Amino acid sequence: DTHISTTPFGRRPMTLGMISSQVAAKAMPADLTVHKWHVFQNIKEARGALGATDRALAILDALLSFHPETALYGDSELIVWPSNEQLIGRANGMPPSTLRRHLAVLVECGLIIRRDSPNGKRYARKGQGGEIEQAYGFDISPIVARAAEFKELAEVVRAEKKAYRVVRERLTICRRDIVKMIDAGIEEGVPANWGRVQQTYQAIVGQIPRTAPRQALEAIAAELEELWAEVREALESFVKTENMSANESHT
DNA sequence: AGTGAACCTACAATGGGCAT
DNA sequence: ATGCCCATTGTAGGTTCACT
């Protein structure tokens, strides 16, 4: 490694996400107050969008638990300094290397900021009265600074999940309806090319992948609904003509 | 100089996803 | 069902820095 690494921890890369979280933390209004577990809940829901993994969030959970207050204020010093051993203790005994990797993930996501001491150890220096003069560890102020952003992200994720569920329901109902209508049509001797209808139905249904993005399902659902309308039309017009002929025979 | 805490890299094992 | 690819995880060995 011929790189100029004259500074300590030179191997730790600085990413743009980290910069932005640092900027956000600095620009945070002093009177902002959030409840850390509410924010954490939103972060959990927006996990994918944030690029955090479930295990990384287990670490964040542990980190937050080291801050004594439930309510976090924008103007207070929001730094926690648990040793890796302590973190491991609160994170289901995960191995040290895994812990470090996930801490790195949290930093890259901009959920926490490293406040490194000169030797990389995490500790707080206390003054005469026991008050904290300086703390080295992890700054959790992004939790406060970005709380609104996390809430919005969580809402977007919830909306997407709902939309996905809705389109799956649409598909299921449509499939069931079409099968029923085809059965009825054949049973009642409705004139139509039922073989072709069944073929079209199979072709559309066969396109449905096991796992698909919502947009793909939307497209298939639209196709299926078109077929649904076509079949429905055949049955309806048959019913109408039957009624008409019934009326004629009455007169 | 020795110790402790934190970090890194390299390599093996594990397990999920995917095409065959 | 099978084998391959890839990401994640776990382990081992080594480095850096501060403190004593």
| pLDDT, tens only, A161-179 | 888 888 889 998 999 999 9
- The residue out of A91, A110, A145 marking a domain boundary is A145
Rounded Cα–Cα distance for residues A34 and A73 (Å): 7
Same domain, A111 and A216: no
Cβ A237 vs Cβ A193: under 8 Å: no
Segment A211-216 mean pLDDT: 78
Domain assignment present for A1: no
Cβ A46 vs Cβ A117: under 8 Å: no
Which bases on strand C have an atom closer than 7 Å to a protein beta carbon?
A: 8-12, 16-19
Which bases on strand B have an atom closer than 7 Å to a protein beta carbon?
A: 4-10, 18
Segment A175-202 mean pLDDT: 92
What pLDDT score was predicted for residue A212? 73
Segment A124-132 mean pLDDT: 64
Q: What is the mean pLDDT of chain A?
A: 81
Query: pLDDT of A50-98, one tens digit each?
Result: 878 778 888 898 888 888 788 888 766 788 888 877 788 777 777 777 8
Rounded Cα–Cα distance for residues A37 and A147 (Å): 11
Domain assignment present for A10: no
If pLDDT is split at 50, 70 and 90, which confidence band does A198 have?
A: very high
Of A202, A196, A207, A203, the C-alpha closest to A234 is A196
List, chain by chain, residues whose CB lies under 7 Å from nucleic acid strand B: A 9, 11-12, 83-85, 97, 100, 103-104, 119-122, 210-211
What pLDDT score was predicted for residue A11? 46
Q: Which two tokens stand for residue A1?
A: 């490694």
Domain assignment present for A88: yes
- The residue out of A126, A145, A164 marking a domain boundary is A145
Q: Lowest mean pLDDT: which of A31-35, A122-126, A182-186?
A: A122-126
Q: Lowest mean pLDDT: which of A93-102, A137-146, A157-166?
A: A93-102
Q: Which two tokens stand for residue A199?
A: 């073929």
Which DSSP letter does residue A92 get?
A: T
Q: Is the CB of A94 under 7 A from strand C?
A: yes
CA/C1' separation A46–C17 (Å): 38
Same domain, A137 and A178: no
Same domain, A109 and A74: yes
Rounded Cα–Cα distance for residues A193 and A195 (Å): 5
CA/C1' separation A94–C11 (Å): 13
Domain assignment present for A43: yes
Segment A96-107 mean pLDDT: 81
If pLDDT is split at 50, 70 and 90, which confidence band does A10 have?
A: very low
CA/C1' separation A104–C1 (Å): 39
CA/C1' separation A25–B17 (Å): 39
Of A10, A143, A27, the C-alpha closest to A79 is A143
- Centre a 10 Å sphere on the Cβ of residue A116 and count the other Cβ atoms it contains: 14
Q: Is the CB of A29 under 7 A from strand C?
A: no
What pLDDT score was predicted for residue A41? 92
Number of domains present in the structure of chain A: 2
What pLDDT score was predicted for residue A186? 92
CATH of the domain at A32: 1.10.10
Rounded Cα–Cα distance for residues A190 and A178 (Å): 14
Segment A139-160 mean pLDDT: 90
Same domain, A122 and A222: no
Burial of A61 (0-12, 13-18, 19+ CB in 10 A): middle
pLDDT-above-70 percentage for chain A: 85
- The residue out of A82, A116, A145 marking a domain boundary is A145
What pLDDT score was predicted for residue A127? 60
* Domain carrying residue A197: 152-250
CA/C1' separation A159–B16 (Å): 28
Q: pTM to 2 decimals?
A: 0.75
Same domain, A29 and A140: yes
Nearest DNA or RNA nucleotide to A99 (CA to C1'): C9
What pLDDT score was predicted for residue A72? 84
